[in-house]
Amino acid sequence: MISMSFFLTFLSFWGGFFQEDKPAEPAVFAVFVGRTPCEAISKNLGLPVAADCFKLKWKVTLYQDTSTKTPGNYKIEATFCRQKARTGSWKIVKGDESYPVIYELDFDGKPLRFYLADDVLFFLNADGELLPGDSQFSYTLNKKPEAI
């Protein structure tokens, strides 16, 4: 007669042998939300600008590899992509003395750069300078608190 412990050991060994290895789901590194002026960032990214556009609403989700904790993909949900979120890869690059660490998103072949300070993501232009806002909106996104 087969003992119960032998039977359970047998099942756990062969059951694990036949399981498929599924790739790990990416982990959310951070989510940033906010509103920015419309015209300058749209021109920088080569997006069409409507004459009446004065603000863009943003939600930027940065993902990281679960095992290495390195940057992975991003998802942008924004006014300019209501039909389908924009996705791509992001990386951390070395900046200068003013902004030593820069988050760079590959936005359809164009770099979209940010500087992070105190849970605020600041948009940078191609020269690595802060984008100035206007009287109503700034080029910043706030880190969304993690869900409890």
Kindly list the structural domains of the chain, giving each domain's residue range(s) and its CATH number in brackets, ordered by start: 26-143 (2.40.128)
**Average pLDDT per consecutive 10 residues, the chain (148 residues; last block may be shorter):** 50 49 76 92 83 91 94 92 90 89 92 94 91 91 80
**Sign (positive/negative) of CA torsion 131, 132, 137, 143?**
positive
Count of other CB atoms within 10 angstroms of residue 105: 21
> What is the pLDDT, as a whole number, of residue 121?
96
> What is the pLDDT, as a whole number, of residue 20?
56
Give residues with Cβ within 8 angstroms of 88, minimum separation 6. 73, 74, 105, 106, 107, 108
> What is the pLDDT, as a whole number, of residue 124?
93
> What is the pLDDT, as a whole number, of residue 14?
47
| Joined tokens for residue 117 | 């300070």
> What is the pLDDT, as a whole number, of residue 89?
97
Q: Answer for the pair 103, 62: CB distance below 8 angstroms, yes or no.
A: yes
> What is the pLDDT, as a whole number, of residue 51?
84
